[in-house]
Amino acid sequence: MPRRIMPASQPPLWTILGAGALGGVLASLLQLSGQSVRVMLRDEQRARLHPQFDFTSLDGNQHVLDIPRAFPSDIAQTRRLLVVTKAGQILPALRPLVGKLPREVPIVLLHNGMGIAEQVAALFPDNPLLIAVTSHGALRSGHFTFRHTGKGESWVGPYNPAAQQHTALADDLARALGQAGWDEQITGRQWQKLAINCMINPLTALHRVTNGELTAPRFAEALEQLSVELADVMQAEGMSVSADELLRRTLAVAELTAENHSSMLQDMEAGRPTEIEAITGFLLECAERHGIAVPVSRTLYQAIKEKQAQGL
Ligand code: KPL
């Protein structure tokens, strides 16, 4: 009797690098939507200790999910790499994969702040590189314990020409998240998110207040000045946006996420490095290139750097 040759099983469609709040929630939602996913971890011990994900969805339902773990040594079997680490961890996490990640594998970056994609493109010049932006809320309340805390919008778009054919990524994300769009002008969406993060994150972290408390009159002047600085820089970058519009959007986000501790406040509270370089640091660099003064942003940047230097 001829031997039947079984087709080799395909590696998972998604490899997620980063098992923080957002990485855990995305991995869970992708798996629940029927897509195959694995999470890449650097720490083998952590992976062995906690074989399952505890995931609470927006409707409060709890799921115990068996999501396969992978390690950098398994990188050759990657079909799509979704990078969801903190901005400052992206390059240290990706550098060991140089020369090992097959060149046709699309890399999707999803993080706060800007200015990282340029460096990733230099490390992986042949790979399709994409940027994703999301406003979904996510919380990690223990090792591999995640909660989806808010439904938001998500967008994905190409950073380099090789990424242009990967529009299916947006459809697959939409199946998991309820909505996700493809946007060729993805850097415009990144700037809109950056503006909100530049206004909310350093202020909430320095004053140790929730996002909602920023709507109090004592923050009105700082927020107004910040919105003018951001609009000046964004206009110089070619975007048509007004300070009033930025202020309105930021206050709307502060109200929508009123109970939240911003990610920068959470980092400060946990004694972790913040994402100030990728957020306000990126803004300062752009402002300098255009010769635009941004004194309030600069003061906030220096104040956060000082706190970090003092161990927060
Ligand atoms: O993205 C955020 C963050 O905390 O980093 C906001 C929008 C401010 C919500 O908390």
- With the C-alpha atoms ordered 63, 14, 70, 274, is the resulting torsion angle positive or negative? negative
pLDDT of residue 4: 47
Is the ipTM beyond the 0.90 threshold? yes
Is there a catalytic annotation at residue 193? yes
User: What does the pLDDT look like over 111-127, one tens digit per residue?
Assistant: 999 999 999 999 999 99
Minimum-distance ligand 1 atom for the alpha carbon of 266: 4
Cα 6 to averaged position of ligand 1 atoms, centre (Å): 48
Residue matched to tokens 């060149």: 103
Taking residues 235-244, report their average pLDDT: 97
pLDDT of residue 3: 46
User: What does the pLDDT look like over 246-299, one tens digit per residue?
Assistant: 999 999 999 988 988 999 999 999 999 999 999 999 999 999 999 999 999 999
Domain chopping of the chain, boundaries: 14-184, 188-310
pLDDT of residue 50: 63
Report yes or no: 38 and 67 within 8 Å, Cβ to Cβ. Answer: yes
Q: What is the mean pLDDT of the chain?
A: 93
- Percent of the chain residues topping a pLDDT of 90: 83
CATH 3.30.540.10 fits 14-184, yes or no: no
Predicted confidence (pLDDT) at residue 2 exceeds the cutoff of 50: no
User: What does the pLDDT look like over 142-170, one tens digit per residue?
Assistant: 889 999 988 889 999 999 999 999 999 99
Report yes or no: 19 and 27 within 8 Å, Cβ to Cβ. Answer: yes
Weakest-pLDDT range from 2-11, 177-186, 215-224: 2-11
Predicted confidence (pLDDT) at residue 217 exceeds the cutoff of 60: yes
Taking residues 37-44, report their average pLDDT: 84
pTM: 0.92
Predicted confidence (pLDDT) at residue 234 exceeds the cutoff of 80: yes
Cα 163 to averaged position of ligand 1 atoms, centre (Å): 27
188-310, CATH topology level: N-(1-d-carboxylethyl)-l-norvaline Dehydrogenase; domain 2 (1.10.1040)
Taking residues 203-222, report their average pLDDT: 97
Residues with CB under 6 A from ligand 1: 112, 196-197, 200-201, 211, 253, 257, 260, 262-263
Question: Ligand 1 test: best mutation among 257, 259, 274, 300, most atoms within 8 Å of CB?
Answer: 257
What confidence category does residue 1 fall into, taking pLDDT thresholds of 50, 70 and 90?
very low
Q: Which of 184, 172, 150, 190 is nearest to 22 (CA)?
A: 150
- Residues forming a β-bridge with 147: 56, 139
Is the pLDDT higher at 4 or at 151?
151
pLDDT of residue 260: 87
